[in-house]
């Protein structure tokens, strides 16, 4: 099938690469000339395992192309995927200007039947707004052309997006027209072979499903962080508690890992957007608001521990920092805990020596040549003349380091572990002061 995808960011590129991989002819449209130039050279602007290779394979096979020409994009695809950003406004609501700009563009150029697919994360009711925008453009041109709008939210985990798309847990399709439903089912047939993963529903329910999924996962994380803070003050070990409750199949082990707060492009934005959606229909979402508040507080926990250890005097202290990305296998630093920690340390007069396997360039882009930041080429370099070590991202290479060497290099044998990578008893035996999240040794305010 012929597919057009507007937006060559994270969701757009993964969708394009995976649809092309199963034989579709995909055309990616973007307004960023430099990005399109690089993509034509198979230079992928985001870090996602396997994506570079998948795009190169399909470019060479002539199944995927990139263009700035929106008119060409409208003409090309029966399926018109909208995969542009919906950044949060100041009030937390999703900004739909890019989505509606694409909808207007489609309406300005289409002259035959199109299936317009909202892949972007959008508020409930956006499918109707897109349909209205297209209809208005057709009317302005005195043109009649049939179309349908489909809500088809993505459920891609950064670091595992290719696997998630190729072998999905579910494929949510919000659609009213039975004929369009069957065309969408045909498009997704290659990803739906072992059992039926396609779930057809109305567009509003599909739009809400996306927000609900992310909000409930964020809720689990914030709840565990609340428990961890309680456990710490009681002298209990949250890791043992986690194993105890996770063994209950009604709870399970996924997303019950305590830490220094969630980040990324989805959970923070979607929780805030869902809260705004609820308020717009005169409902006060108490739990959803608390999820966000707990997370914001949790991002300050490591700084509070570090500050309390040094009796509130961090001036000219050097903190080694392992991890910058909001989670492993990505370079994404949006809403990352590392940013809250670094900025609080700088405000207190401290210096940071940081390393991340993937996010160094992203950190340079965000902070430039910050006078209190040194980006290091490896973990050992971060420890040079450092007063303490803080860990905020659970990359595998941080899980089994040479602890004796770390102790010898640090001015103070102290580690602040925001991801609970090590065993407290072992750290104590090795002579470390070890402060993790909810593991019984409290430095809480």
For residue 303, give the nearest of 424, 443, 407, 399 by alpha carbon: 443
410-414: Cβ within 8 A, 24+ apart: 410/320, 410/383, 410/386, 411/318, 411/385, 411/386, 411/387, 412/387, 412/388, 414/309, 414/388, 414/389
> For residue 37, what are the CA distances in angstroms to 2, 18, 33?
22, 21, 6
Say which of 18, 28, 266, 363 is annotated catalytic: 266
150 vs 172: CA distance, rounded Å: 10
Report which of 84, 146, 69 is spatially closest to residue 110, judged by C-alpha positions: 146
- Catalytic annotation on 266? yes
Report d(CA 392, CA 376) in Å as an integer.
16
Q: How far is the CA of 329 from the CAs of 48, 332, 382, in angstroms?
A: 7, 9, 20
How many other C-beta atoms are found inside a 10 Å radius of the C-beta of residue 276?
A: 18
- Residues that are catalytic: 266
């Amino acid at each position: 099938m012929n597919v057009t995808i507007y937006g060559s960011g994270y969701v757009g590129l993964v969708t394009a690469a995976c649809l092309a991989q199963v034989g579709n002819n995909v055309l990616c449209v973007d307004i960023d000339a430099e990005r399109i130039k690089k993509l034509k050279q198979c230079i992928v602007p985001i870090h996602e395992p396997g994506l570079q290779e998948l795009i190169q394979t399909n470019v060479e096979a002539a199944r995927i192309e990139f263009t700035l020409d929106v008119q060409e994009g409208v003409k090309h695809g029966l399926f018109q995927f909208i995969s542009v950003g919906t950044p949060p406004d100041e009030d937390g609501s999703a900004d739909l200007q890019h989505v509606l700009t694409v909808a207007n563009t489609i309406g300005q150029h289409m002259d035959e039947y199109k299936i317009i697919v909202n892949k972007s994360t959008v508020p409930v009711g956006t499918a109707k707004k897109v349909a209205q925008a297209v209809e208005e453009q057709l009317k302005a041109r005195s043109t009649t052309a049939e179309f349908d709008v489909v809500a088809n939210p993505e459920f891609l985990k950064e670091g595992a997006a290719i696997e998630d798309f190729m072998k999905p847990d579910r494929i949510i399709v919000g659609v009213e027209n039975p004929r369009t439903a069957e065309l969408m089912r045909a498009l997704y047939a290659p990803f739906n072979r072992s059992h039926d993963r396609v779930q057809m529903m109305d567009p509003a329910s599909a739009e809400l499903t996306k927000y609900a999924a992310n909000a409930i996962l964020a809720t689990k994380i914030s709840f565990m962080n609340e428990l961890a803070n309680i456990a710490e003050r009681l002298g209990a070990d949250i890791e043992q508690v986690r194993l105890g409750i996770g063994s209950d199949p009604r709870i399970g082990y996924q997303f019950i890992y305590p830490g220094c707060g969630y980040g990324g492009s989805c959970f923070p934005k979607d929780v805030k957007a869902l809260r705004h959606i609820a308020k717009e229909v005169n409902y006060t979402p108490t739990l959803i608001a608390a999820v966000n508040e707990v997370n914001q507080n949790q991002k300050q926990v490591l700084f509070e521990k570090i500050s309390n250890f040094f009796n509130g005097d961090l001036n000219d202290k050097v903190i080694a920092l392992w991890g910058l990305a909001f989670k492993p296998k990505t370079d994404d630093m949006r809403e990352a805990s590392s940013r809250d920690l670094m900025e609080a340390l700088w405000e207190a007069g401290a210096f940071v020596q940081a390393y991340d396997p993937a996010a160094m360039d992203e950190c340079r882009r965000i902070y430039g040549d910050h006078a209190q930041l040194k980006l290091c080429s490896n973990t050992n370099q971060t420890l040079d003349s450092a007063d303490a070590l803080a860990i905020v991202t659970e990359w595998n290479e941080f899980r089994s380091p040479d602890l004796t060497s770390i102790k010898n290099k640090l001015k103070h044998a102290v580690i602040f572990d925001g991801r609970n990578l090590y065993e407290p008893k072992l750290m104590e035996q090795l002579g470390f002061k070890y402060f993790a999240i909810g593991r019984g040794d409290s430095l809480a305010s």
